[in-house]
């Protein structure tokens, strides 16, 4: 299954997205990088097949997407995002989505939702691991 994750042919795309991150992405990254959320490691611009996820915690299979205004610009874009998420959920990836506005207006709420989901997934993982 590893042939689906962070494939070499997407390396330049991932690098470009990291170098051109939105202000909201940069702000969120300041709070989730370096294991600041319950010691979980998040990566920026992580690819699964031909899709790139804004932030990803591999251990918990948690994706965080930051949606800017272009994500709501047309029915086609909304449909594409829905299909993309459904495809990635096929890899048992859990999604959290936030808008730029949510990050700017209430970063504490965004971080609290991330912490809650991380805790849920950590507990789930602990309960599933063999004793």
Fold of 2-128: Endonuclease; Chain A (3.40.960)
**Euclidean distance between CA atoms 55 and 97, whole angstroms:** 10
Lowest-confidence region among 27-31, 67-71, 101-105: 67-71
pLDDT (average), residues 73-81: 83
Region 108-116: mean pLDDT is: 98
Please, are residues 32 and 22 in contact by the beta-carbon 8 Å criterion? Answer: no
CA neighbor of 115 nearest in space, from 53, 31, 30: 31
The ranges assigned to domains in the chain are 2-128
Give 30-49 pLDDT, tens digit per residue: 999 999 999 999 999 999 99
Contact between 14 and 43 under an 8 Å Cβ cutoff? The reply is no
């Amino acid at each position: 299954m590893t042939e689906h994750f962070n494939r070499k042919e997407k390396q330049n795309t991932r690098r470009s997205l990291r170098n051109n991150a939105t202000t909201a992405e940069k702000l969120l990254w300041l709070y989730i990088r370096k294991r600041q959320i319950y010691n979980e490691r998040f990566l920026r611009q992580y690819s699964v097949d031909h899709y790139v996820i804004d932030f990803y915690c591999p251990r918990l299979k948690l994706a965080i997407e930051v949606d800017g205004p272009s994500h709501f610009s047309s029915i086609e874009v909304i449909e594409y995002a829905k299909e993309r998420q459904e495809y990635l959920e096929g890899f048992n990836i859990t999604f959290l989505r936030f808008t730029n506005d949510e990050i700017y207006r209430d970063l504490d709420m965004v971080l609290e939702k991330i912490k809650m989901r991380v805790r849920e997934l950590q507990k789930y993982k602990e309960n599933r691991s063999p004793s």
